[in-house]
């Protein structure tokens, strides 16, 4: 079973060895292969160790078909590749024959810098948030939160005049709410929210002070900004439950525990679907994508495809994820896949590169 922290260790090894981001134009496969160019998966049925009477019956082999058309409304996916001392940032349009846009190159033109960490997008695609060492002396050597709408003008987020050093973060559609992970709270790692009022960023508010867990993982923000979902647990690298909180600090709940589905398992990267369901990576049978309907404690397996990671959900319900078992992907790269909301169809958006599994963002359309 692949572990998220192994990816981080591999990235640290690349940093030590001075590895750089590969040239996408020269080494990557076409951004949008035609559906007929992708063979249907023949993944075997995942092993099942749940006992009789558990919530989830034994999953069958994937029946997902590689014939999903691109959405007419478009949209964007944000991702990163390992790059020397940081991550090389990209965004990819959901359009035929799209090629990833080099966001790090745009940052280099705007301001000098050496190190960026990640890039995310608001649910409707209006705003981007990233962590980089540019644009402010207090970010030099220690990346901080920066937001933009067009990658031409940038704002360093400074609540009460101080920059924010944070983990993978989420930004609301109006650009006035940011939710992020950081220390210095009640627990080892907490969730925080900051709001912009009358043009000024206000003091950060802790959202997880009442949590029974020690660690709270990167957030997924609902499109209406009324709720945030995230992994939670007592290990810095894994989660055993899904938690929710109100961005104003008025509510914290343990939404779902892995043991609710029969036995303990690692849970990662929960994100909201348009109907309020939560799509997440669960590892009861290896790395697979699951859907937890609103108001339910019984998750359903989406497609049965194995080694499927870090989902995000577009406003139209389509799911973007990092898939390692595309037929022909003998190297086991994290490749970008687009899947129907019910898991019945998929298509590959970007292949031939090993995307850095630090957080997948998608929005717009």
Least confident of 54-58, 118-122, 187-191: 54-58
Q: Is residue 64 part of a domain?
A: no
Distance separating alpha carbons of residues 178 and 170, to the nearest angstrom:
6
Q: Is residue 1 part of a domain?
A: no
pLDDT of 53 > 50? The answer is no
Write the pLDDT tens digit of every residue in 236-282: 999 999 999 999 999 999 999 999 988 899 999 999 999 999 999 99
Helix or strand run (H / E) with residue 14: helix 4-17
Residue listed under structure tokens 């779902």:
256
Closest by CA position to 240, among listed 271, 268, 272 = 268
Q: Is residue 114 part of a domain?
A: yes
Give the rounded percent of residues in the chain with a pLDDT score beyond 90: 78
Helix (H, G, I), strand (E, B) or coil at 13: helix
Distances (CA, A) of 21 to 25, 29, 322, 361: 12, 16, 18, 19
pLDDT of 331 > 50? The answer is yes
| pLDDT of the residue at 35 | 27
Helix (H, G, I), strand (E, B) or coil at 124: coil
Q: Which two tokens stand for residue 30?
A: 């076409």
Identify any residues that bridge with 193 across adjacent strands, giving them in sequence order: 179, 205
Q: Is residue 309 part of a domain?
A: yes
| pLDDT of the residue at 287 | 95
Distance separating alpha carbons of residues 233 and 257, to the nearest angstrom:
10
Helix (H, G, I), strand (E, B) or coil at 92: strand
Write the pLDDT tens digit of every residue in 233-249: 999 999 999 999 999 99
> How large is the average pLDDT for residues 66-71?
95
| pLDDT of the residue at 5 | 38
Give the pTM: 0.85
Distances (CA, A) of 6 to 1, 9, 158, 358: 11, 5, 33, 11
pLDDT band at residue 98 using 50, 70 and 90 as cut-offs: very high
Q: Strands 335-339 and 319-323, how do they pair?
A: antiparallel
**More confident site: 143 or 24:** 143
Q: Which residues of 56-67 are buried (b: 16+ CB within 10 A; e: fewer)?
A: beebeebebbbe
Number of domains in the chain: 1
Beta carbons of 360 and 87 less than 8 angstroms apart: no
pLDDT of 57 > 80? The answer is no
Closest by CA position to 154, among listed 131, 173, 177 = 131
Distances (CA, A) of 198 to 61, 145, 172, 351: 53, 19, 16, 44
Chain centroid, CA 42 distance in Å: 26
Distance separating alpha carbons of residues 113 and 256, to the nearest angstrom:
41
What are the φ and ψ backbone dihedral angles of 353, each rounded to 5 degrees?
-130, 145
Q: Is residue 45 part of a domain?
A: no
C-alpha torsion 323→232→92→147, nearest 10: -170
| pLDDT of the residue at 61 | 56
| pLDDT of the residue at 350 | 97
Which region holds residue 40: left if phi is over 0, alpha if psi is between -120 and 50, else beta?
beta
Q: Is residue 53 part of a domain?
A: no
Residues contacting residue 160 through CB under 8 Å, at least 6 positions apart = 201, 202, 203
pLDDT of 39 > 70? The answer is no
pLDDT band at residue 86 using 50, 70 and 90 as cut-offs: confident
pLDDT of 91 > 50? The answer is yes
Give the domain range for residue 207: 7-18+73-363
Reported residue count of the chain is 365
Distance separating alpha carbons of residues 122 and 175, to the nearest angstrom:
8
Q: Which two tokens stand for residue 333?
A: 């790269």
Report the chain's C-alpha Rg in angstroms: 19
Beta carbons of 77 and 94 less than 8 angstroms apart: yes
Q: Is residue 34 part of a domain?
A: no
Distance separating alpha carbons of residues 83 and 283, to the nearest angstrom:
29
Q: Is residue 125 part of a domain?
A: yes
CATH classification at residue 125 = 2.120.10.30
Q: What is the mean pLDDT of the chain?
A: 86
Residues contacting residue 192 through CB under 8 Å, at least 6 positions apart = 166, 179, 180, 181, 182, 185, 204, 205, 206, 207
Q: Which two tokens stand for residue 248?
A: 């104003």
> How large is the average pLDDT for residues 309-320?
97
> How large is the average pLDDT for residues 46-64?
46
């Amino acid at each position: 079973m692949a572990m998220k922290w192994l990816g981080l260790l591999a990235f640290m090894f690349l940093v030590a060895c001075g590895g750089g981001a590969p040239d996408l134009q020269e080494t990557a496969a076409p951004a949008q292969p035609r559906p007929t160019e992708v063979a249907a998966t023949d993944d075997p049925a995942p092993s099942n160790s749940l006992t009789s009477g558990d919530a989830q019956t034994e999953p069958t082999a994937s029946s997902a078909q590689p014939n999903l058309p691109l959405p007419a409304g478009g949209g964007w996916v944000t991702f990163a590749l390992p790059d020397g001392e940081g991550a090389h940032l990209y965004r990819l349009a959901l359009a035929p024959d799209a090629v990833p846009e080099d966001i790090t190159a745009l940052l280099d033109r705007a301001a000098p810098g050496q190190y960026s960490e990640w890039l995310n997008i608001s649910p409707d695609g209006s705003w981007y948030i990233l962590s980089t060492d540019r644009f402010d002396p207090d970010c030099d050597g220690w990346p901080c939160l920066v937001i933009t709408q067009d990658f031409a003008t940038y704002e360093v987020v400074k609540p009460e005049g101080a920059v924010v050093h944070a983990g993978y973060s989420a930004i609301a559609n109006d650009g006035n709410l940011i939710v992020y992970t950081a220390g210095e709270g009640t627990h080892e790692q907490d969730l925080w929210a900051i709001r912009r009022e009358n043009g000024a960023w206000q003091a950060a508010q802790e959202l997880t002070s009442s949590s029974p867990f020690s660690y709270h993982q990167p957030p997924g923000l609902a499109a209406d900004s009324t709720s945030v979902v995230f992994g939670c647990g007592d290990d810095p690298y894994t989660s055993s439950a899904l938690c929710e909180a109100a961005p104003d600090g008025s509510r914290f709940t343990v939404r779902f525990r892995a043991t609710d589905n029969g036995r303990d398992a690692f849970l990662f990267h929960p994100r909201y679907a348009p109907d309020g369901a939560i799509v997440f990576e669960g590892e009861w049978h290896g790395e697979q994508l699951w859907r937890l309907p609103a108001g339910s404690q019984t998750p359903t397996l989406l497609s049965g495809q194995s080694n499927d990671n870090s989902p995000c959900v577009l406003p139209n319900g389509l799911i973007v994820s990092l898939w390692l078992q595309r037929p022909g992907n003998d190297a086991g790269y994290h490749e970008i896949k687009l899947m129907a909301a019910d898991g019945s169809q998929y298509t590959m958006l970007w292949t031939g590169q090993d995307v850095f599994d630090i957080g997948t963002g998608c929005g717009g359309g």
